[in-house]
Amino acid sequence: MPDAWAGIECDWKKEPLPSAEALATAARLVRAARIAGFPPETAQTGYWATVCLFWDSGRIEVEVFPESFELYVFATNAAGGRFSVAEFEANAPGALDALLSELSSVRQTGSE
């Protein structure tokens, strides 16, 4: 199986480094997004020991925890840096599909 991170600009220099569990969960999402046709553009360490994945020049972010995903959509036309957040449990049946569906929808509509 090819490296999940191939072709994605990664920055793992910031502390704290992602946990092994967060990296494994993120790799599942990256592989699924690649199959769906929209792998993230960049990846980096998160605020916690997490992985942050970015699409659409950072307008869409998924922070990956060992057991969950948090989807952030930053409005490009709203004052004050407004954004929406949705959480998905990583191990719940259908959660990965639901997250990918939401990512695809947000990317197509360009809004929250």
- Please report whether residue 4 resides in a domain: no
- Cα distances from 35 to residues 14, 31, 46, 78, in angstroms, run 28, 6, 24, 32
- Please report whether residue 45 resides in a domain: yes
Host domain of residue 25: 13-92
More confident: 1 or 47: 47
Q: What's the pTM? A: 0.90
Contact indicator for 39, 30 with CB cutoff of 8 Å: yes
- Please report whether residue 104 resides in a domain: no
- Please report whether residue 82 resides in a domain: yes
Q: Which two tokens stand for residue 98?
A: 């639901």
pLDDT in tens, 15-68: 999 999 999 999 999 999 999 999 999 999 999 999 999 999 999 999 999 999
How many angstroms separate the CA atoms of 81 and 20, rounded?
A: 32
- Please report whether residue 71 resides in a domain: yes
- Please report whether residue 80 resides in a domain: yes
- Please report whether residue 8 resides in a domain: no
Domains of the chain: total: 1
- Please report whether residue 110 resides in a domain: no
pLDDT of residue 74: 87
pLDDT of residue 80: 61
